[in-house]
Chains A and B, each alone.
Chain A
């Protein structure tokens, strides 16, 4: 059943862009460096090409294999399976984090009197339907829905133009390079490094020779959008307000008089969160079927979504803790999943490839 799934390169671009942008437009972990946030984003954006290029190269060295299959192939049956379980936990944890950040935003900004669990539970119904229909449906839906976030950003940008004060980005490098580099590392792990999940998706792309080009197009689009959003927030709100507010883009949209444009942010966040959660849970489901040698993931869709929703409620006590963990802990927690294990996979894959080419030449 898994062998009949196919998505186009255009769909990959949209899925990857939507996934990487995701909730980073509302969860701004660069706010600690205030007016220099845009510099952090540029630095992490440049390194993102290297990081995601590495993931694509791993996929190229291990053609038609998902991350789980690569782990078992490279590390052997036992260690491979242990690492696979760790990655499946990471995919589940990531989906719960997205559920939580999205529902915190909606419950604080849009429906303050609605219990957060109901927001998560009701939105998960649409997500279950998408997962039951499969990756191709998810990709096609994303192609249509993804038009909303960039248009919303453009509308907010145009409306808030008069309220921008370019002096708000000064003084540049007020706190030196160290905080900027530290924040850049955090931005590299969230959101760019989360593209490791696409090692579960690349195998379904129909033109595999164009995966690198498609990934770079996505990263370029995401980088430009994040820089625009960051500069817009800084110039409209100012550095102190950036640091004090949790949801800067929403705050920027409310500052503009005479127009109610914050619903655009909410709808954009809905679309992006859906794409992110779909990719996370789809990767988790594919991983489970491959780990247990099954041929169908659909029976597990609803139980996995329930576990993800339940975990999202369990994770943090409040939104302040969520932001604190995202800033202080998550970058280091993600290092093994996004850097260490992929680098080991890359080295072993290169050695194997050299070995294979030597044996074919003799």
Chain B
């Protein structure tokens, strides 16, 4: 099941890149290209870690610790 989800994730990301690539090529800006692929990589890693159940602690846990340290 996990492998199926990983394959599905890869296919989705390829489709997303295929949809966006013509528009990004038209812009021909290195900055847009870099930011776009950085966001794609971040999204992919976040999703992959959750699928394989290796996601680190949620950022909400850190926020809760900070709030409890300051307020409570």
Interface size on B, residues (CB 8 A): 28
Within 8 A of A (CB), among B9-35: 16, 19-20, 23-24, 27, 29, 31-32, 35
B46–A294 touching, CB < 8 Å = no
A325–B64 touching, CB < 8 Å = yes
Within 8 A of B (CB), among A269-299: 288, 292-294, 296, 298-299
Given A299-B24, A315-B58: A329 and B64 interface contact (C-beta under 8 Å): yes
Q: How far is the CB of A30 from chain B (nearest CB, A)?
A: 20
Chain B interface main SS type: helix
Q: How far is the CA of A175 from the CA of B48 in the complex (A)?
A: 48
B60–A300 touching, CB < 8 Å = no
- Which chain B residue shows the least CB distance to A304? B39
Interface residue A257 (Cβ < 8 Å from any Cβ of B): no
Q: How far is the CA of A311 from the CA of B32 in the complex (A)?
A: 23
A298 CB contacts on chain B under 8 angstroms: 23
B46–A311 touching, CB < 8 Å = yes
B71–A332 touching, CB < 8 Å = yes
B64 CB contacts on chain A under 8 angstroms: 325, 329
A288–B35 touching, CB < 8 Å = yes
B55 CB contacts on chain A under 8 angstroms: 314
A325 CB contacts on chain B under 8 angstroms: 60, 64
Interface residue A111 (Cβ < 8 Å from any Cβ of B): no
Interface residue B67 (Cβ < 8 Å from any Cβ of A): yes
Q: Of the candidates A93, A293, A310, A332, which one forms a contact with B47 in the assembled complex, judged by CB atoms under 8 Å apart?
A: A310
B43 CB contacts on chain A under 8 angstroms: 303, 306-307, 310
Given A296-B27, A314-B58, A333-B67: A302 and B16 interface contact (C-beta under 8 Å): yes
A303–B31 touching, CB < 8 Å = no
B35 CB contacts on chain A under 8 angstroms: 288, 292, 294, 300
B2 CB contacts on chain A under 8 angstroms: none
Q: How far is the CB of A230 from chain B (nearest CB, A)?
A: 26
Given A288-B35, A294-B32, A325-B64: A299 and B46 interface contact (C-beta under 8 Å): no
Interface residue A316 (Cβ < 8 Å from any Cβ of B): yes
A310–B23 touching, CB < 8 Å = no
B39 CB contacts on chain A under 8 angstroms: 300, 303-304, 307
Q: How far is the CB of B32 from chain A (nearest CB, A)?
A: 5
Within 8 A of B (CB), among A161-220: none
Q: How far is the CA of A333 from the CA of B23 in the complex (A)?
A: 38
Q: How far is the CB of B21 from chain A (nearest CB, A)?
A: 10
CB within 8 Å of B: which residues of A?
93, 288, 292-294, 296, 298-300, 302-304, 306-307, 310-311, 313-316, 325, 329, 332-333
A-B contact pairs, 20 of them (CB 8 A): A294-B32, A298-B23, A299-B36, A300-B35, A300-B39, A303-B39, A303-B43, A306-B43, A310-B46, A310-B47, A311-B46, A314-B50, A314-B55, A315-B58, A315-B59, A315-B60, A325-B64, A329-B60, A332-B71, A333-B67
Known: A300-B36, A314-B59, A332-B71; 4 extra A-B contacts, CB below 8 A, are A302-B20, A303-B40, A303-B43, A314-B58
